[in-house]
Chains A and B, each alone.
Chain A
């Protein structure tokens, strides 16, 4: 259980890498307004942090962690930055 969850965690960035090969503008439109790409990356980072927290609690990894706030925030930031690099990075 622990090993499979750890493997899944390691694969997370790759999931993002695989899904975003297409090129498009670094801005997305919502109800006729354009939002910058980094805002989308930030939202994805928050979602990733929350999802990881849920997965880790369910799988029991959470019990091994300490300084959980910093850990999850860092994971969310890493996810957001990776998404930015893959989508909009040079």
Chain B
């Protein structure tokens, strides 16, 4: 076997070696610079917003219009809960409202009657006043006559008794009049009862409306595993709807690369469902915080500082949220792996 000497003194060889070394070093520096100026990540994940479909009311599932993995449009009927108990509740509330309205009318009649009674009492007060005035004048007239014995004292005494009676009657009728005035009352309580019944009816109608569930957005039905007949509790989730109106990529980028990641920067995204089709997106935001082992301790306790010799620190990564432009639906599945290239790649010329 031929011995290969590493330390020859051929000048051509040394020049070639130096050229290669210099080239490799310069290219390495150039690539490192490019890599930090145009960051990329292959640990992205396709993400979308979801709606956990549930009704605020419970009952038996009587109609299920969708099946799993079906695409639905906004406003489509998804499912219906047995509306009968809620219709009955509406009927009951309507009857209660009618009762309250009748009570208002009843109260109006009562008030009218009491108003008339108060007027009568007022008139009686006037009559009592007139009678008392007459009795007073009679006493005044008879007093001198009785003093000169033109009339018997008996007659004068009778006139004074009549005056006293008339005064008592006047006081009584005045009190009666004010009591009758007070007794008229108003419609406030019955009107309030009517409003309460109205509110109860509207509540019952709202609950009835909640038995029909429509799609709040375009999307895909997922994790649906039941059929008609299932009993649902209020707010029980029947399935999850993946919203199809906005898709995102969540890519974790190292903190050293974040300076080059500006909001609204163009991003080339490849969904690895088909890694030859470049999707276009824009940086929407960068996560403001992640939970780290050092900050995970309870706030009240002392900081947990492990004894270690950690000379090498791995860079922390933060989730960058990238909003995708509209893309072919078969490339978009929640949780799919995605690679992202910020400010370069096929979609960002």
Contacts and interface: CB of A to CB of B under 8 A. Distances in A.
Interface of A: 22-27, 29, 34, 36-37, 64-71, 73-75, 77-78, 81-82, 84-85, 88-90
Interface in B5-36: 5-10, 12-14, 16-17, 20-21, 23-24, 27-28, 30-31, 34
Contact of A25 (B8, B34, B272): B272
A81 B31 contact: yes
12 contacts: A26-B40, A29-B275, A34-B272, A36-B42, A65-B10, A66-B13, A68-B6, A68-B17, A70-B17, A71-B16, A81-B31, A89-B31
A23 B219 CA distance: 30
B206 interface: no
Interface stretch (B49-57, B95-103, B296-304, B337-345): B337-345
Contacts, number: 101
A10 to B, nearest CB: 12
A77 B25 CA distance: 9
Return the 3 tightest CB-CB contacts between A and B, nearest first.
A66-B13, A25-B270, A90-B344
Interface of B: 4-10, 12-14, 16-17, 20-21, 23-24, 27-28, 30-31, 34, 37-38, 40, 42, 270, 272, 275-276, 278, 337, 339, 341, 343-346
Contacts of B276: 22-25
Contacts of B270: 24-26
Q: Name the residue among A29, A66, A68, A71 with the largest chain B CB count within 10 angstroms.
A: A66
B322 to A, nearest CB: 15
A22 B8 CA distance: 44
A31 B24 CA distance: 33
A74 B21 contact: yes
A66 B278 contact: no
Contacts of B278: 23
A68 B17 CA distance: 7
Contacts of B5: 66
Contacts of A27: 42, 272, 275, 339
Contact of B34 (A64, A71, A74, A90): A90
Contacts of B6: 66-69
A64 B42 contact: no
Contacts of A75: 20, 24
A75 B337 CA distance: 34
Nearest to B345: A23
Contacts of B275: 24-25, 27, 29
Given A24-B276, A27-B339, 15 more contacts: A23-B346, A25-B270, A26-B40, A27-B275, A34-B42, A66-B9, A66-B14, A68-B6, A71-B17, A75-B24, A81-B28, A84-B31, A85-B34, A89-B38, A90-B341
